[in-house]
Structure 1
């Protein structure tokens, strides 16, 4: 058995601006596990917001991969053991997804079959999945023009990145540019607590369907202070299934990202827990290639909202079989 990793820098086709800053490239980590006849690959994106820099992720992999190789050789290593060795996060995600990928290859089935089995459900038929297309932060005019350009390319569901500035001006310009588009907003923890209720009411009046993480993680209690005029989704506040009971009292939706929760194994558990708590589910992503998005597709097929447009921001998708993005959908056909 072989288990190795590599890091890769991927330039973006255009700057990606959110409330925490602007990126022109990303660095991803890929783990490859092979038994000689079959190969599983997992990709994850280091994220400084969660103290998961590339250096931290590489150190975690260097520490765990020798144990992984030995366990796989003995046939005694499984995904539960991985969860005991690594906390939720990027390194665990890369290994966990590689293990799921390897199992699918060995059994000659798709990931959908394996995840359906884990959930105790029948596999879903393959079909294109509606995904948001993200509009990064810029001037109101530039954001409106970007929204219109995506609409003209066929996108019907747009995710608008905002910070705490020019919220009304930006959103009114976008709504005027794409009056028929479905809109969701992602604040990435940047909305001011003072006036939050009025801000959410404005967004609701403009036809926004959901707002994602308006306040910093840890300040969620402020959401108890008023009735939400539109659904609010937890992102930075939501990492693993242990977070969900508390979030269910303050949010209507949670965002499951494999890089945060530590891979498909925890993502499956989060989906089941969210269903039990009557929380709607969004499946999101960090920027990455089709390799990373493909791992999340079985969860995305069961979600209320999907945000897996990461590869559309890359100058070049290095996956040998890239997902197809067209008219606001993604397809792995």
Structure 2
């Protein structure tokens, strides 16, 4: 079966700006991959992980080089022959989509996942002054968002959490420290946060310094994000974390992400399925996987100024696929 490949780079504007402890973004560059057998075409999108040195142009070149050397790639060959990251994610998910179209099957059916239903997704509150985050939380609550994810920095975090809680007192909260709590008493921070409806703490320490969590008895589950990229990482991290955040761009595709879910389940760890900034095309395979998660954070498209035509719908904090999107 002769296959053809098309790779492109698109830039999408962020609604306002997206601010975390590592900096601010007002747009996101994504890599779009289309692979065709002449009658059916599989499409996928991936977001380069900038803090790991990835760029859209580099990912596009990586996909093209691999395809030139492997003109009839399989998902197994992609998993074995490409390093994890956004480039592999784009090609892996495009191959999943191609097979779905060839076999006239939904992705969840082909992958053996539960049939997707409308799912509660977190909405991210960007890092900012406490009063600004309070205002964003109040606006989010008024729009029906019942699960908020706060970006923190390791400095004045208690004030930020308290402010968000004032703005949205009935909302469930996730906090994302983005590796910024290396020098804090994490057990004390977690005990304080537990009083403010915080139910998950993402990546409190730097990747590679997970040993700082040894012996920490946190009343709030700790979730590995930047530390956990593949199924091989899960067992290593199990002594330090209660959950893992699985993102397809980190894992390098749905194939490896499904292996991460199995590894987490075997380690009795909980699962969060997240995303980078992306359009609805980028989160389509993640939405199928999210049916196995305890927490879902697929608000990437909601943070953009606009989305694709066949977009997911976000209503009252729930994410719902467009007809035919899954």
- TM-score normalised by the shorter chain: which range applies? over 0.9
Q: Hey, what does 2:75 align to over in structure 1?
A: 79
- Whole-Å separation in 2 of the counterparts to 1:218 and 1:8: 32
Paired residues in the alignment total: 320
TM-score (norm. length: structure 1):
0.94
Alpha-carbon displacement from aligned partner over 1:101-134 (angstroms, at most 9, x marks no partner): 0000111111010111xxxxxx533320110000
- 1:108-187 aligned at under 5 Å gives the runs 108-116=104-112, 124-187=114-177
Alpha-carbon displacement from aligned partner over 1:245-287 (angstroms, at most 9, x marks no partner): 1111110000110000110000111111111110101000000
Alpha-carbon displacement from aligned partner over 1:152-193 (angstroms, at most 9, x marks no partner): 000000001110111111111111221111001011111243
> Which among 293, 296, 319 is matched to residue 330 of structure 1?
319
Alpha-carbon displacement from aligned partner over 1:69-115 (angstroms, at most 9, x marks no partner): x22xxxxx311111222111110000000000000011111101011
Alpha-carbon contact 1:254-1:280 (below 8 Å) kept = yes
Q: Hey, what does 1:189 align to over in structure 2?
A: 179
Q: Hey, what does 1:103 align to over in structure 2?
A: 99
CA positional deviation for 1:196:
2.1
Indicate the SS of the match to 2:292: coil
- Whole-Å separation in 2 of the counterparts to 1:236 and 1:269: 17
- 1:1-333 aligned at under 5 Å gives the runs 1-68=3-70, 70-71=71-72, 77-116=73-112, 124-317=114-307, 319-332=308-321, 333=323
- Whole-Å separation in 1 of the counterparts to 2:284 and 2:20: 24
Alpha-carbon contact 2:43-2:94 (below 8 Å) kept = yes
Q: Is there any run of 5+ residues in structure 1 with no aligned partner, and where?
A: 72-76, 117-122
- Whole-Å separation in 2 of the counterparts to 1:192 and 1:96: 35
Alpha-carbon contact 2:124-2:148 (below 8 Å) kept = yes
CA positional deviation for 1:61:
1.6
Moved over 4 A (4+): none
TM-score (norm. length: structure 2):
0.96
Alpha-carbon contact 1:285-1:310 (below 8 Å) kept = yes
Q: Is there any run of 5+ residues in structure 2 with no aligned partner, and where?
A: none
Indicate the SS of the match to 2:145: coil
Alpha-carbon displacement from aligned partner over 1:217-249 (angstroms, at most 9, x marks no partner): 011011113211210000000000000111111
Q: Which moved more, 1:280-289 or 1:123-132?
A: 123-132
Q: Hey, what does 1:119 align to over in structure 2?
A: none
- Whole-Å separation in 1 of the counterparts to 2:262 and 2:161: 34
Indicate the SS of the match to 1:218: coil
RMSD: 1.1
